[in-house]
Amino acid sequence: MLRAPALLLVFLALVTQVSSNMEDDRMSITRATGSSAVIPCDLPTQSIQYIHWYKFQEGTVPRRLLYYDVSSSKVVLEPGISPGKYHGYEGTDRMYKFVISNLQESDSGAYRCAVWENAGWKKIFGKATELIVAPPDRDLDTDMSPKPTMFLPSITEIKRDNTGTYLCLLENFFPHVIKVYWREKGGNRVLPSQEGNTLKTADTYMKFSWLTVSGKSMGKEHMCIVKHEKNKRDRNQEILFPSVNEGIDSTVEDLSLLGSKNNFVTTTKPPNDGLKDKKKQVPVGNSTKACLKDENNTLQLQLMNTSAYYTYLLLLVKSTVYFVIITSCMFRTGLWGNQKSS
């Protein structure tokens, strides 16, 4: 039977996508049914006469909803749109805003502003704002921020490949819009990393992201940065990982405490939420040791549950494929028999 870490990596290989920059830096807004949403335009609007607002939905062509005449402060709706649903105005911060009233679930989608540039021959679109209109039974007051679990590099990988892979598992968050990236502690450069697709589990979501370091970087601490609408105090989560070299000594000591041959160590200590207060930072190397002493059974149960979940998922997919193949063969056999008899 595959160990939980190995099974996780097998599953991740099926849903991997490269994430090396922050181009898809869209934001999300979650609102209740019947409420209103205000979406700002992030484009420079100096010397602009008209601002256009578009709605993007998967499977449909983009639709312009209205344009705003800056000189006259007038909103012009597209044909077929009921008055009172959409509105535009200039805010006190000199940013132009788009308002959607009496929200329904069908209003969910991505919204973008656009302006004409360079004498009116090129239209420039702003960043997408994903609007999620929650159903009436969704409690938006509960904590729906991403809950991190940290996986440290394995001794086998370090010794064999002279590299170390950090893995950050994020669970139980809503909505689905999330951005995860990595950088060295104290650095500003976004590092090339990999991530899995955002997966739905029950009524929340989960996501993996991992970073492989080598060479001189193995002596540096790294941070997994998580951007999500529901983060506390609207700050990015900054999850601190120890250096790979430091992790080797910690892992060896932790393994002796576990009394097993597993070479994968986890901790579920909360991140520092981007705060600079050193008292609230999470030194992963030290917290791992305490976590393994006090919560050994809990961590082992978590790994077993994770392993069982993905084993069930893979078996379900496999059985579905077999069913389709067998049904297709039976259909073709029956059709061939009918042709021969006729």
Q: What is the pLDDT of residues 86-130, one digit of tens each?
A: 999 998 888 899 999 999 999 999 999 999 876 667 889 999 999
Topology alike, domains 27-134 and 147-241: yes
Asked if 140 contacts 189 with a C-beta cutoff of 8 angstroms, the reply is: no
Which of the two residues, 199 and 4, has the higher pLDDT score?
199
pTM tops 0.85, yes or no: no
Residue 314 scores a pLDDT above 60: no
Exposure of 182 by Cβ count < 10 A (0-12 exposed, 13-18 middle, 19+ buried)? buried
> Is CATH 2.60.40.10 correct for 147-241?
yes
Residue 25 — very low, low, confident or very high, per pLDDT cuts 50/70/90? low
Helices 284-294 and 296-341, axial angle in degrees (round to 10)? 90
Q: Which of 2-16, 104-118, 200-214 has the lowest mean pLDDT?
A: 2-16
Report the topology of domain 27-134: Immunoglobulin-like (2.60.40)
3-state helix, strand, coil in the chain (%, to 5): 30, 35, 35
What residue spans define the domains of the chain? 27-134, 147-241
Sign of CA dihedral 125, 174, 209, 18: negative
Helix (H), strand (E), coil (C) string for 140-161: CCCCCCCEEEEECCCHHHHHHH
Asked if 51 contacts 115 with a C-beta cutoff of 8 angstroms, the reply is: yes
DSSP 76-132: EEPTTPPTTSEEEEE-TTS-EEEEE-S--GGG-EEEEEEEEETTTTEEEE---EEEE
User: What DSSP element (H or E) covers 333?
Assistant: helix 296-341
